[in-house]
Amino acid sequence: GDYFIFNNQITPFEWIDSKMAETKIGDLSPKWRNIRLRRDSYAHSYLHGQWVEHLFNAFKYADLSKNNFLTITFKEKSVNDQEWLQISFKNQFTKTDETIFRGGLEGIAGTLKKLNGSKDDKLSLYLEFQKNYFVVNLNYRSDLLVPYTEE
């Protein structure tokens, strides 16, 4: 069977690539590369929950007739003298139903606005519809994700 994932023979993304469609994960930007989260911490749980929601949505709405399942990119930007970290989830989808923004995404957007101290959608959770692609951009104030330092 497909129990080889649980035996650490391949990663879950390698399994998705072999069984469904290709997943592309971009290189970490310098600031993203320095972020470390303590396992089972609040930040770890919070980010894990957000990112799992986006993977679930990618599965739910993906156009699996195409080979490109999901592209994840990591970027940095500066807005109003504040440094921001951005992660983007981009996948092809089959329907143009913009009611996708309910439940999980709506909750994530509200929480990000509060954490980031910004009412600007483009500085929290920002959605884009690009032809047959659905893009979710998550933005985090960089001072909220403190780089790892050895003690």
Report the SS3 class of residue 74: strand
**84 pLDDT tier (thresholds 50, 70, 90):** very high
Residue 77 CA to residue 122 CA, distance in Å, equals 12
pLDDT of residue 139: 93
**73 pLDDT tier (thresholds 50, 70, 90):** very high
pLDDT of residue 87: 92
pLDDT of residue 77: 92
Q: Is the pLDDT of residue 68 over 80?
A: no
Q: Do residues 126 and 139 touch, judged by C-beta distance below 8 A?
A: yes
Is 22 or 81 the better-scoring residue by pLDDT?
81
Q: Do residues 69 and 113 touch, judged by C-beta distance below 8 A?
A: no
Q: What is the mean pLDDT of the chain?
A: 79
Pairing assessment for the beta strands 68-79 and 82-92 based on DSSP bridges: antiparallel
Mean pLDDT is lowest, of 11-20, 25-34, 45-54, 85-94, for 11-20
